[in-house]
Amino acid sequence: MGYRVAVVGATGNVGREMLDILAERAFPADEVVAVASRRSQGVECSYGEKTLKVKALEHCDFSDIDICLMSAGSAVSKEWSPRIAAQGAVVIDNSSCWRLDPDVPLVVPEVNADAVAGFRKKNIIANPNCSTAQLVVALKPLHDKARIKRVVVATYQSVSGAGKEAMDELFGQTRAIYVTDPIEPKKFPKRIAFNVIPQCDAFMEDGFTREEWKMVAETKKILDPKIKLVATCVRVPVFISHSEAVNIEFEQPISAEEAREVLRNAPGCVVIDRRETGGYVTPFEAAGEDATYISRVREDPTIDNGLVLWVVSDNLRKGAALNAVQIAECLINRKLIEAKRKAA
Ligand SMILES: NC(=O)c1ccc[n+]([C@@H]2O[C@H](COP(=O)([O-])OP(=O)(O)OC[C@H]3O[C@@H](n4cnc5c(N)ncnc54)[C@H](OP(=O)(O)O)[C@@H]3O)[C@@H](O)[C@H]2O)c1
């Protein structure tokens, strides 16, 4: 098949997961190149049973690369994605840098796979924010069935969504509490161990945070600009997987049983909703899994045509790395790209 794939940010939370997922899914790659900052040059990363030596971004030649999976943050993407794209590699970016650019498709393959075809304008495709990805996977089949008017969502976001240093901070603070060491918040604005913080990303003028705004704007771009959405994004002391309490108002009637049936047959969704103690999915159980889990589906008695659900997914997989690899698979399966070099 002969595809050459670069993973930029290979030493990070998302990048490591990308390498694992490429190997797990037997992605048709002849060669995978691990790339990170100069700090990590020569560091070893696992790719299936192989070990890759990390190259520094500045020293990388992308002229032979077909697909570049990018997860090195917005500033790096802003500078490097156009340069890599100009060398003929399709960049699939995980940062927020290109998501709302009208010339860049924002894609969740279960929801709007056809949008990938628009990648040629900039040779860049964007992945949504992790909280948006799992939300739209669950909303899409319900929207097709009963037309969503409005969504109210509260998130319970794991620390891995803020990068590897954020995971270290939760671990370090938890340990410090047990040995009565002082706690000094760095990545998070307040102590995260044994606490919850109603702030993900920076504040905007209207009082919402950027994370909350991203969920609104990205849901509109991916699913339907007519959907009204309001979010409260909260960081919780969980290592992996984001959870969301989602309240949905529809144009047409839809019962909880109909919703469960629709979701059971929807791509990427798994319904676990036994309506008994423990009969739902928690973030711990979703970690390392590909599915978006839906539990606690109920009719909302306070409005006409309303449902309430609980949605959980691994933010590093469906929220980032898995979604990026699925986009790359879409490009290949739809024959939208060809390998630059044929296999030997
Ligand atoms: N975590 C999530 O759930 C999630 C979900 C969706 C999107 N994203 C996005 O994905 C991106 C990465 O997130 P992450 O959680 O993986 O962060 P992370 O764990 O902090 O890793 C960041 C990665 O970027 C690399 N990097 C930093 N500066 C660089 C530079 N100047 N040149 C080349 N590489 C550089 C780092 O390399 P070194 O190790 O050498 O520093 C590391 O590999 C971010 O844009 C984030 O917003 C994350």
Nearest to 244 by CA among 256, 232, 254: 232
How far apart CA 106 and CA 180 sit, in angstroms, is 46
Interval between CA 340 and ligand 1 midpoint (Å) = 27
How far apart CA 96 and CA 116 sit, in angstroms, is 17
Sign of CA dihedral 278, 231, 81, 58: negative
Going by alpha carbons, the residue nearest to atom 41 of ligand 1 is 37
Nearest to 16 by CA among 330, 288, 327: 288
Interval between CA 76 and ligand 1 midpoint (Å) = 9
| Per-residue pLDDT reduced to its tens digit, 327-339 | 999 999 999 999 9
In this prediction the pTM is: 0.96
Q: What is the mean pLDDT of the chain?
A: 97
Instruction: Give me the pLDDT at residue 105, please.
Output: 98
Interval between CA 133 and ligand 1 midpoint (Å) = 18
Interval between CA 12 and ligand 1 midpoint (Å) = 5
Interval between CA 74 and ligand 1 midpoint (Å) = 9
- Residue 158 alpha carbon, nearest atom of ligand 1: 3
Query: In DSSP terms, which residues pair with 35 in a beta bridge?
Result: 8, 55
Among 16, 21, 37, 187, which is best to mutate for testing ligand 1, by the most ligand atoms less than 8 A from CB?
37
Bridge pairing between strands 242-250 and 306-313: antiparallel
As annotated, the active-site residues are 130, 242
Instruction: Give me the pLDDT at residue 1, please.
Output: 60
How far apart CA 254 and CA 76 sit, in angstroms, is 44
Nearest to 340 by CA among 115, 90, 170, 150: 90
Going by alpha carbons, the residue nearest to atom 24 of ligand 1 is 72
Give the CA count within 13 Å in the CB-facing half-sphere of 336.
21
- Residue 163 alpha carbon, nearest atom of ligand 1: 15
Instruction: Give me the pLDDT at residue 342, please.
Output: 62
Please list every protein residue whose CB sits less than 6 Å from any atom of ligand 1: 9-15, 36-37, 39-40, 57, 71-74, 76, 94-95, 129-130, 160-161, 163-164, 315-316, 319-320
170 close to 159: Cβ distance less than 8 angstroms: yes
Burial of 320 (0-12, 13-18, 19+ CB in 10 A): buried
Among 20, 84, 94, which is best to mutate for testing ligand 1, by the most ligand atoms less than 8 A from CB?
94
Going by alpha carbons, the residue nearest to atom 17 of ligand 1 is 163
The SS3 assignment for 5 reads strand
The stretches in the chain having pLDDT less than 70 are 1, 342-344
Going by alpha carbons, the residue nearest to atom 21 of ligand 1 is 12
Instruction: Give me the pLDDT at residue 318, please.
Output: 98
Interval between CA 115 and ligand 1 midpoint (Å) = 25
| Per-residue pLDDT reduced to its tens digit, 231-260 | 999 999 999 999 999 999 999 999 999 999
Going by alpha carbons, the residue nearest to atom 33 of ligand 1 is 37
| Per-residue pLDDT reduced to its tens digit, 31-89 | 999 999 999 999 999 999 999 999 999 999 999 999 999 999 999 999 999 999 999 99
- Residue 39 alpha carbon, nearest atom of ligand 1: 40
Instruction: Give me the pLDDT at residue 340, please.
Output: 84
